[in-house]
A and B are shown apart, each in its own frame.
Chain A
Amino acid sequence: ETGVTQTPRHLVMGMTNKKSLKCEQHLGHNAMYWYKQSAKKPLELMFVYNFKEQTENNSVPSRFSPECPNSSHLFLHLHTLQPEDSALYLCASSQKSRGQETQYFGPGTRLLVL
């Protein structure tokens, strides 16, 4: 469907659990992103990686820990989350071409923290 895949698509976890979200892009892009989408709020940028290097950490709590082992893969490690962290977590990738950069999204992981 898209060049960006995410697993799992749905996740339910308790506040003491540790889990990881995975994102993979097949578009040859060099930038990858994590966003959080909650109801009635704009997309919140969490992290940006450019050529595997983190270039943005948008004041995200330390209970969210990103990892980018290469330009195609991005992880979001979760631990001791709170119920208010329940949201849709979206991965995206982008590539600058002829001075223009367009972002494409994965299908998202719907997270519920109990």
Chain B
Amino acid sequence: QKEVEQNSGPLSVPEGAIASLNCTYSDRVSQSFFWYRQYSGKSPELIMSIYSNGDKEDGRFTAQLNKASQYVSLLIRDSQPSDSATYLCAVSLSGNQFYFGTGTSLTVIP
């Protein structure tokens, strides 16, 4: 049984549009939630972390967390071709337990 689920995509959006990436998790005691961006052949790079219900904004990125629905999302406003990558959702329980989804591939079309 998967801990973290993401739509693998590919998700394609035109340049300037909003890209919406979704993630659900199975463990209700999950405490911390992360979005990583991974370019092809590179390692995951942390974009956002969110720990409490609601929205968290950082530049063009907004993370949304709904613990009751066990759902976390990432919105990318004004999408750019450089945003084309695989986005990994990660969930942390307690201690050093991190669980990752398979990632959603995003392509921003110029």
Contact = CB atoms under 8 A, between A and B. Distances in A.
Interface of A: 2, 31, 33, 40-43, 45, 48, 50, 55-56, 88, 90, 94, 100-108, 110
Contacts of A88: 43
B109 interface: no
Nearest to B8: A40
Contacts of A103: 34, 46, 90, 92, 98
15 contacts: A2-B43, A45-B98, A48-B96, A55-B95, A56-B96, A94-B96, A94-B98, A101-B92, A102-B32, A102-B34, A102-B49, A103-B34, A103-B46, A103-B90, A104-B46
B96 A33 contact: yes
A100 B96 contact: no
Interface residues of B, number: 26
Contacts of A45: 98
Interface of B: 2, 4, 31-32, 34, 36, 41-46, 49, 51, 88, 90, 92, 95-103
Contacts of B102: 40-42
A101 B98 CA distance: 10
Nearest to A110: B41
Contacts, number: 56
A41 B8 CA distance: 10
A108 B43 contact: yes
Secondary structure type dominating chain A contacts: strand
B83 to A, nearest CB: 19
A26 to B, nearest CB: 16
B43 A106 contact: yes
B50 to A, nearest CB: 10
A113 to B, nearest CB: 18
Nearest to B94: A101
Contact of B100 (A42, A100, A101, A107): A42
Contact of B43 (A42, A94, A105): A105
